[in-house]
Amino acid sequence: MAIAVTEATFDRDVVELSGKTPVVVDFWAEWCGPCRTLGPALEAAEASRGGKVLLAKVDVDSNQGLSQRFGVQGIPAVKAFRDGTVVDEFVGAVPKAQVEAFFDSLLPSKVDELLAAGDELSLREAAELEPRRADVAVALGRARLERGAEDEALEAVEAHQEDFAAAGIAARVRLAKAGIGSEAFEALDRGDRDAALDALLDELRDAPDEHRDLIRRAFIGILNEADPASPEARDYRRKLAAAL
């Protein structure tokens, strides 16, 4: 059932909620004939998807600030929000088939559902379905590292060396095979990222040339998990540059 939202509730009921579930917002007005035509199709599309996509309605006459905020110039205007951002939109009373396709485009894919499941079996299936997705490869690589299957972890990520996290996992495996970085990776496995980064900096200062780039890649892969704008990340980037 559609949620009626206002300027006071929009951020809570749409922006924040869309971080968990896509929200379709119908900007409408009581006097708008096309709005009354489109409304039932939107409501039916939401109802048939079992809560995987939510519908919110904004009365533009009562909430003109929201209309201005999102550039609504004609109604009905329909905007889809995911993670607080408009990701798709249309204007006008479009056919029911187009409404259904619009809602379908917001549903998680089979690969997304498998990635969210997070177990190694699901991740392996996701990687088979979409071998080009680095996020899937990284999740599978980490799952294999957790059970000590280093060669299998390397196999999962080695085709994605353009991705910092994937390159970091590959570097970790290769360093471990060379007997380097055990203190760092033990710290990482117990959740102490700072200790892991500090240990890799220590390794980097005395490492032979053939291992320096691997240490750098492992370091960046670990640092990539932190907020890049955080003071911690900036500090460690400076330390890495100095050590190199």
Residues assigned a catalytic role: 32, 35
Residue 160 burial (CB count, 10 A): 22
> Under a CB-based contact definition with an 8 Å cutoff, are residues 175 and 169 in contact?
no
- Return the structure tokens found at 64: 């003109």
> What CA–CA distance (Å, rounded) separates 160 from 156?
9
Burial of 26 (0-12, 13-18, 19+ CB in 10 A): buried
Measured CA to CA in angstroms, residue 84 lies from 13, 42, 100, 136 at distances of 10, 20, 22, 23
